[in-house]
Amino acid sequence: MSNGERRASGERDRALGGPTPPAETPSSAASGGDKGLKGGAIGFASSVVIGVASTAPGYSLAASLGFVVAAGVGLFSPAVLWVAFLPMLCIAFAYYYMNRQDPDCGTTFTWVTSAMGPSIGWIGGWAIIVADVIVMANLAQIAGLYSFLLVGIDAPSTIAVTCIGVIWIAIMTAICYIGIELSARTQIALLGAEILALAAFAVVALVRVYAGDYPDSIDPSLGWLNPLNIDSTTALINGVLIAVFIYWGWDSAVTVNEETEDPTEGPGRSAVVSTLILLAIYVIVAIAAQAVHGEEFLKQNKDDVLSALGLDVLGSPLDKILIIAVLTSAAASTQTTILPTARTSLSMGAVRALPKIFARVHPRYQTPDFSTLLMGGLSIVWYFGLTLISEDILGDSIAALGLMIAFYYGLTGFACAWFYRRELTTSVKSFFAVGVMPFLGGVTLTYVLIKSISELAEPGKRDVLGMGPPLAIAIFFAILGVVVMVLQRIADPEFFKRKPSVAEPGSLAPKTEAAS
Amino acid sequence: MNNEIIVGYDGTGCGHAALDLACDLAKGLGSKLVIAYGYQPYQGAGEIGTQREIMRDQGQAFVDEGVATATGCGVEAEGALIPQRPAAALASIAEERDARMIVVGTYGDSPIKGAILGSTPHKLVQIADVPVVVTPAAGA
C-alpha cells in the first residue's frame, strides 16, 4: 500500500486515495484549505442567529436576573447588565484575534497553551469543561422546572424537578452524541419565537405598568441604567460576576463571523447586530421585569423570575409562550455549550493533554462521542450530588460558574496580549484591539474574580468548610483539576514539554484569501 | 459514463456490507471501485479545527482499509476522502466521476428515525443522479 505517501502530499482537507484527483466540486465546504474555515457556508442572518442563540437570552434571563438583583444592586440591575458586557467585549477581541491565528476547537486551551505554556493552558481547558458540566446541571434545573410549568404544575417537588432535569440532560447529550443538527431555518424560527415572546412580555409589562394595573409597580427611570447610582462597589462587582454568565457564549458569534464573512471586512456586521439585539433584550426585559412588582419580587422568585412574572403580565394561557421560549432557549443552548466543550476535550485528547480516547470521533455520527457522553454523565452525577448537598443549588452553581468563566475568559485576554506582544507596535489599531482591549478585559475579570473570592471567603449563612458554597465549589474543582493534570502528566508527559510560542512577524497584517 | 462503482465505507458493519456487495458487483460488471468517505463536523457552534483533522485522519484510515479489502478480493480500487456530509459527498463524487452507481449499507432505520437521525441512504436516494444500491448490514 502506498497511501502513506499520498497522505503526505500537502492536501490538508482533501486527501485523496487515488492517483487521479477528482475535480474540485464547487460545493466543497473546505475550499479555503485553512483548517476550520467555512468559506461562506453561513449567511448573514444565520450568523446573527448563532450569535444570539449561543447566549440563550431567554434561559440566561430566567436563570440569572433574580440573582443579579439579589446581589444588592437594587433597581439598577439594567446598569449591571450592560456594564458586565464591557469586559466581555474586550475578551471578544482576544477571541477574534486568537481565532484568526488558530481557529482550533480547543479555543482557550489551545490558545493559552501556545501563548503561555501547557500547564496554564491545560487549566484553562479544565475550567471550560467544569463550567460546562455545571451549566448542564443548571440548565437541567430550569428545563425541569419549566417543563412542569408548561403543563400547569406550579409547585413541583425538588425530586420531581430533578428527575425531569436528568431526563433533559440525557436527551440533550443524546442529541449532541447522534449529531442531530438544526437547520439554519429551524434555528431562525426558534430564536425568532424566543425573541418575540420576550419582547411581548416586556411590551405588555411596560404598558400595564404605565396603565397603573399593578398597585406595587414602579415607573421605569433612565437612572436605572446608570451604574454610578449603585452605592456599594461590592454589590456592583457581585452583580457583574453573575451577569457575566448571561453573555457566556457570545464569543462564538465573533469567531463564527471570521469564517462567514469577507475576512478583509473585519469583525463583521453580524457580530455587531447580534450584540445590539442581545443588549437590547437584556436591558429592556430587566427594566420591564422589575417595573412590574419592584425588585423585592424578583429577589423572592430568583430561581425563575420569568415564569413568576409571566402569569401576572401575560395572563393564562399566554404566559405559556414565555415558558416555551425559555424551554427552547435552554434546549438551543445545548448545541452551543455541549458541542464546543466536547470539542475542547477532543482537542485536549488530540494533543494528549487528556487520554487519547477523548479525541475519538464516532465514524457514523461524526461527533466526539466519548467526550460528549462523559460530559453528560458527569453533569448528571453533579446535578444529583449537588441537589443532595446544597439547598440553593441554582444560585451557588451560577456564582461558581461566574468564577470559572471570569477565570478562563480573563486568561484568554492575557494570552492574546502576550501572544501578540511583538506585533502590538505595528499599528495603532493593533495596539488597542489586540493589546489594550484584551489586556483590560483580563484585568477587569481578574479584579472581579479576586474581589468576589475575598467576599465569598468571609463566613456567611450557608458555609461549606467556612467559606461560601460557590467558592468551595470552585476550589474543589481547581484542586481536582491540578490532580488530574498531574496524573495525566505522569501517564503521558509529551504534551507538557511544549514551549510557549509568540506570534509570527506580520501575523496581524490583513489576511487575503490567497494566503491560505 | 465511467465504469466505476462508488462505495460508501465507514469501517462499520454497514460499510462492510456495502463493500462486500460492491466487490461482487464490480467483478460481475468489470468495474473499478471508488471507496469513499465523506466527513464534516457540525459547523454551527464555533471552531472545529482539530475535530476536522481527526475526522480526516480517521476517514483516510477507513478509505485505506476499504481499498486494501477490495484489492484483496481482486478488484481494482481507489479511495476518495471528501470533506462534505456523507450523503452529499457520495452524490457529488458520483456526479463528478460520472459513476455507474453508488453502493451503501443501511442499518435499517425506519423513515421517521431516518428523518430524525439523518440517515445517509434516505438522503442519498433523493439527491443522487446515478442509481443507488442499498444493502442491509448483517444483523440489521
Helices A44-55 and A269-300 pack at an angle, to 10 degrees, of 30
Model confidence at A402, pLDDT cuts 50, 70, 90, reads confident
CB contact under 8 A, A29 and B81: no
Model confidence at A415, pLDDT cuts 50, 70, 90, reads very high
Q: Are A249 and A337 in contact (CB under 8 A)?
A: yes
Query: Which residue would you say has higher pLDDT here, A450 or A303?
Result: A450
Model confidence at A421, pLDDT cuts 50, 70, 90, reads very high
Cβ-nearest to B35 among A17, A103, A364: A17
Cα separation, A96 vs B61, whole angstroms: 34
Report for A110-124, A179-193, A231-245, A273-287: range of highest mean pLDDT: A110-124
Determine which of A252-266, A326-340, B1-15 has the lowest per-residue pLDDT on average.
A252-266
DSSP letters for A329-378? HHHHHHHHHHHHHHHHHHHHHHTTSS-GGGG---TTT-S-HHHHHHHHHH
Cis peptide leading into residue B136 (ω within 30°): no
The single-letter DSSP state of residue A463 is -
- The pLDDT of residue A89 is above 60: yes
Pairs across A and B, CB distance < 8 A = 158
CB contact under 8 A, B50 and A105: yes
Query: Which residue would you say has higher pLDDT here, B5 or A262?
Result: B5
Check residue A283 and give its pLDDT: 93
Check residue A407 and give its pLDDT: 93
- The pLDDT of residue A418 is above 90: yes
What are the grid coordinates assigned to A39, written together? 468559506
Q: Length of chain B in residues, anyone?
A: 140
> What ipTM did this prediction achieve?
0.77
Contacts of A147 (CB under 8 A, 6+ apart): A164, A168, A327
Cα separation, A493 vs A351, whole angstroms: 11
B110/chain A closest Cα distance in angstroms: 16
Check residue A261 and give its pLDDT: 46
Cβ-nearest to A36 among B44, B49, B54: B49
Model confidence at A491, pLDDT cuts 50, 70, 90, reads very high
- The pLDDT of residue A394 is above 80: no
Mutation choice for B interface testing from A105, A333, A338, A412 by most B CBs within 10 A: A105
Determine which of A29-43, A86-100, A176-190, A193-207 has the lowest per-residue pLDDT on average.
A29-43
- The pLDDT of residue A239 is above 80: yes
For chain B, what are the domain ranges? 4-136
C-alpha distances (whole Å) from A26 to each of A32, A41, A257, B34 are: 12, 12, 22, 20
- The pLDDT of residue A413 is above 90: yes
- The pLDDT of residue A125 is above 90: yes
Among B134, B33, B38, CA closest to B83 = B38
Check residue B105 and give its pLDDT: 87
Check residue A268 and give its pLDDT: 55
Determine which of A72-81, A395-404, B76-85 has the lowest per-residue pLDDT on average.
A395-404
> Which residue type occupies A470?
P
- The pLDDT of residue A417 is above 90: yes
pLDDT digits over A209-236, tens only? 999 888 888 999 899 999 988 888 888 8
Cα separation, B15 vs A210, whole angstroms: 66
3-state secondary structure of A459: coil
Place of cell 455587531: A272
Determine which of A33-37, A214-218, A286-290, B12-16 has the lowest per-residue pLDDT on average.
A33-37
Mutation choice for A interface testing from B7, B50, B62 by most A CBs within 10 A: B50
Mean pLDDT along residues A237-257? 75
Check residue B15 and give its pLDDT: 84
Model confidence at A51, pLDDT cuts 50, 70, 90, reads confident
Share of chain A above pLDDT 90, in %: 25
Check residue B48 and give its pLDDT: 67
- The pLDDT of residue A383 is above 90: no
Query: Which residue would you say has higher pLDDT here, A384 or B49?
Result: A384
Report for A29-33, A71-75, A479-483, A506-510: range of highest mean pLDDT: A479-483
Query: Which residue would you say has higher pLDDT here, A472 or A51?
Result: A472
3-state secondary structure of A290: helix
- The pLDDT of residue A454 is above 80: yes
Check residue A342 and give its pLDDT: 85
DSSP letters for B108-136? ---HHHHHHHT-HHHHHHHH-SS-EEEEE
Q: Are B37 and B65 in contact (CB under 8 A)?
A: no
Check residue A206 and give its pLDDT: 93
What are the grid coordinates assigned to B54, written together? 481527526
Region of A465 on the Ramachandran plot (φ > 0 left; ψ -120 to 50 alpha; else beta)? left
DSSP letters for B53-76? HHHHHHHHHHHHHHHHHHHHTT--
Q: Taking all residues of chain A, what is their mean pLDDT, rounded to a whole number?
A: 80
Contacts of A130 (CB under 8 A, 6+ apart): A404, A477, A481
Mean pLDDT along residues A382-391? 77
Long-range pairs, A453-459, Cβ under 8 A, ≥24: A453/A403, A455/A234, A455/A237, A455/A238, A456/A399
Cβ-nearest to B50 among A7, A27, A347: A347
Cβ-nearest to A105 among B48, B81, B84: B48
What are the grid coordinates assigned to A310, written together? 409571566
Domain B4-136 annotated CATH 3.40.50.620: yes
Mean pLDDT along residues A102-108? 81
**Run of H or E including A485:** helix A469-491
Check residue A72 and give its pLDDT: 84
CB contact under 8 A, A179 and B45: no
Query: Which residue would you say has higher pLDDT here, A23 or A132?
Result: A132
Long-range pairs, A459-468, Cβ under 8 A, ≥24: A462/A390, A462/A391, A462/A392, A468/A399
- The pLDDT of residue A113 is above 90: yes
- The pLDDT of residue A492 is above 70: yes
Residue of B nearest to A347 (CA): B50
- The pLDDT of residue A4 is above 50: no
3-state secondary structure of B78: strand
CB contact under 8 A, A27 and B84: yes
Model confidence at A242, pLDDT cuts 50, 70, 90, reads confident
Mutation choice for B interface testing from A343, A351, A516 by most B CBs within 10 A: A343
Mean pLDDT along residues A305-313? 85
DSSP letters for A383-420? HHHHHHH-TTHHHHHHHHHHHHHHHHHHHHHHHHHHHT
Share of chain B above pLDDT 90, in %: 19
- The CATH code for residues A36-497 is 1.20.1740.10
Check residue B116 and give its pLDDT: 62
Sign of CA dihedral A30, A33, A39, A42: positive
A363/chain B closest Cα distance in angstroms: 6
Determine which of A35-44, A175-184, A323-332, B119-128 has the lowest per-residue pLDDT on average.
A35-44
Q: Are A404 and A379 in contact (CB under 8 A)?
A: no
Check residue A190 and give its pLDDT: 79
CB-based burial label for A136 (10 Å; 0-12, 13-18, 19+): buried
For chain A, what are the domain ranges? 36-497
What are the grid coordinates assigned to A111, written together? 490558545
Chain CA centroid to CA B52, Å: 18
pLDDT digits over B24-38, tens only? 898 889 888 999 998
Long-range pairs, A194-197, Cβ under 8 A, ≥24: A194/A57, A194/A58, A194/A325, A194/A328, A194/A329, A194/A332, A195/A52, A195/A57, A195/A277, A195/A281, A197/A58, A197/A321, A197/A322, A197/A324, A197/A325
Mutation choice for A interface testing from B14, B33, B47 by most A CBs within 10 A: B47
Check residue A445 and give its pLDDT: 92
B78/chain A closest Cα distance in angstroms: 5
Model confidence at A286, pLDDT cuts 50, 70, 90, reads very high
pLDDT digits over B68-85, tens only? 998 888 888 899 998 888
Check residue B47 and give its pLDDT: 61
